[in-house]
Amino acid sequence: MPSSTIPGLDALTRLREGNTRFVANVRSMEALASLSKRIDPLVQPSPFAIILGCADSRAPAETIFDQGLGDLFVIRVAGNIVAPSQIGSVEFAAERYGTQLVVVMGHSHCGAIAATVESMQETSDQPKSRNLLSITDRIAPVVAPLMHTELAKDRPALLRAATRANVAASADHLRHGSRLLEELRLKNGLMVVGAEYDLETGVVDFFDPAP
Ligand SMILES: [Zn+2]
């Protein structure tokens, strides 16, 4: 049985408060103290939130939400895409630990988003790594409709819109791409929320607070 965790909305508040501390350059003593304690492997972990974020070195969830060891279950992959292993990881934590909040977090100046846009615009037929394509090919269908709008003429605006559209698509995929997660949402109140981390300000904007 999962250990008791806090409801999704309370978890969201805890993340917002942690991010406010990070932005203000203040640190939680509790989170800092947790770093010097060794974990007892016999005690079941009880992460209060699951974060699916980008692998970008500037976007570590534990730091920008000012959380300690054991607080967050973090999955990081370039472009915060949702492939089967990411869904499986979220299912694992939500089912095993009873965690009630999932946050899909993109960020400004994301290299994976820029690489996707570049690959869609360039005409070079140089062969690309299949592994890299497995990431950009998941982002491209989300970005494609934006390329046919006015945004195509304004690169920074296009990249910003693409980042948010990609987060929304990943969150939607988690909400509806897994029977287990869908059941946990409907019966146990699991929340899946999108967010964007701004590298310059440090602020995380939760833009999709629907359950
Ligand atoms: Zn990124």
How far does the chain reach from its first CA to its final CA, in angstroms? Answer: 23
pLDDT of residue 123: 66
CA-based nearest residue to 60, from 48, 144, 71, 142: 71
What is the pTM assigned to this prediction? 0.93
* Residue 66 CA to ligand 1 centre (angstroms): 20
pLDDT of residue 211: 47
Give the side-chain half-sphere CA count within 13 A for 27.
Answer: 11
Residues with pLDDT less than 50, the chain: 1, 211
* Residue 116 CA to ligand 1 centre (angstroms): 11
* Residue 198 CA to ligand 1 centre (angstroms): 11
Distance CA 20, CA 22 (A): 5
* Residue 113 CA to ligand 1 centre (angstroms): 7
* Residue 164 CA to ligand 1 centre (angstroms): 12
* Residue 34 CA to ligand 1 centre (angstroms): 28
* Residue 203 CA to ligand 1 centre (angstroms): 15
Sign of the dihedral through C-alpha 149, 136, 129, 57: positive
* Residue 160 CA to ligand 1 centre (angstroms): 12
* Residue 187 CA to ligand 1 centre (angstroms): 33
pLDDT of residue 164: 96
